[in-house]
Structure 1
Amino acid sequence: MNKRTPSRGGGAKPAPRPSAALRNEVRIIGGRWKRTRLAVADKPGLRPTPDRVRETLFNWLASLAGASGGELPGWHCIDAFAGTGALGFEAASRGAASVLLCEQDAALVAQLQALKARLKADGVRIERGNGVTALERVAPGSLHAVFLDPPFENTALYAPALRAAARALRPGGVVYLEAASRWPDEEFATLGLGVFRYLKAGAVHAHLLMLAPDTAA
Structure 2
Amino acid sequence: MRRQRHGTQGHDNRQGRARSGGGRLRLIGGRFRRRLLPVPDHPGLRPTPDRMRETLFNWLANDIDSRTRALDLFAGTGALGLEALSRGAGEVHFVEADRQVARQIEQNLATLEVTMPVHQQDAHAFLDTRPVQPFHLVFLDPPFRQDLITDCCQRLDQEGWLADDALIHVETEAELIPHLPAGWRLIRETRAGDSHARLYRRESAQ
Shorter chain as denominator, the TM-score bin is 0.7 to 0.9
After TM superposition, the structure 1 = structure 2 runs for residues 31-46 of structure 1, keeping only pairs within 5 Å, are: 31-46=30-45
Q: Does the Cα contact within 8 Å between 2:71 and 2:139 map onto a contact in 1?
A: yes
Which residue in 1 is equivalent to 2:94? 101
CA 1:197/1:216 → structure 2, altered by over 3 Å: closer, same or farther?
Answer: farther
After TM superposition, the structure 1 = structure 2 runs for residues 29-108 of structure 1, keeping only pairs within 5 Å, are: 29-63=28-62, 65=63, 71-108=64-101
Tell me, in whole angstroms, the C-alpha distance in 2 between the residues paired with 1:132 and 1:47.
Answer: 22
| Structure 1: stretches of 5+ with no match in the other structure | 1-19, 66-70
Partner of residue 111 from structure 2, selected from 114, 118, 137: 118
CA 1:127/1:48 → structure 2, altered by over 3 Å: closer, same or farther?
Answer: same
CA 1:133/1:144 → structure 2, altered by over 3 Å: closer, same or farther?
Answer: same
Partner of residue 174 from structure 2, selected from 181, 185, 199: 181
Which residue in 2 is equivalent to 1:161? 152
Deviations 1:146-186 (A, max 9, x none): 11112214x2322121112224221221111111125437x
Aligned residues: 185
- Deviation of the 1:202 alpha carbon: 1.8
After TM superposition, the structure 1 = structure 2 runs for residues 169-208 of structure 1, keeping only pairs within 5 Å, are: 169-184=162-177, 187-189=179-181, 192-208=183-199
CA 1:174/1:135 → structure 2, altered by over 3 Å: closer, same or farther?
Answer: farther
Tell me, in whole angstroms, the C-alpha distance in 1 between the residues paired with 2:61 and 2:128.
Answer: 26
Query: Comparing both structures, which one devotes a greater share of its residues to helix?
Result: 1
Deviations 1:59-85 (A, max 9, x none): 11123x2xxxxx533100110111001
- Deviation of the 1:43 alpha carbon: 3.1
Q: Does the Cα contact within 8 Å between 1:166 and 1:193 map onto a contact in 2?
A: no
Between the two structures, name the one with larger relative contact order (CA 8 Å, sep ≥ 6).
2
Tell me, in whole angstroms, the C-alpha distance in 2 between the residues paired with 1:81 and 1:177.
Answer: 11
CA 1:203/1:26 → structure 2, altered by over 3 Å: closer, same or farther?
Answer: farther
Q: Does the Cα contact within 8 Å between 2:170 and 2:198 map onto a contact in 1?
A: yes
Report which stretch shifted further, 129-138 or 170-179.
129-138
- Deviation of the 1:29 alpha carbon: 1.4
- Aligned amino acid, residue 210 of structure 1: R
Q: Does the Cα contact within 8 Å between 2:39 and 2:104 map onto a contact in 1?
A: no
Which residue in 2 is equivalent to 1:216? 205
**Does 2:126 match 1:137?**
no
Deviations 1:24-56 (A, max 9, x none): 323111111111123333434434321111111
Q: Does the Cα contact within 8 Å between 1:195 and 1:209 map onto a contact in 2?
A: yes
Tell me, in whole angstroms, the C-alpha distance in 1 between the residues paired with 2:67 and 2:79.
Answer: 19
Tell me, in whole angstroms, the C-alpha distance in 1 between the residues paired with 2:194 and 2:176.
Answer: 14
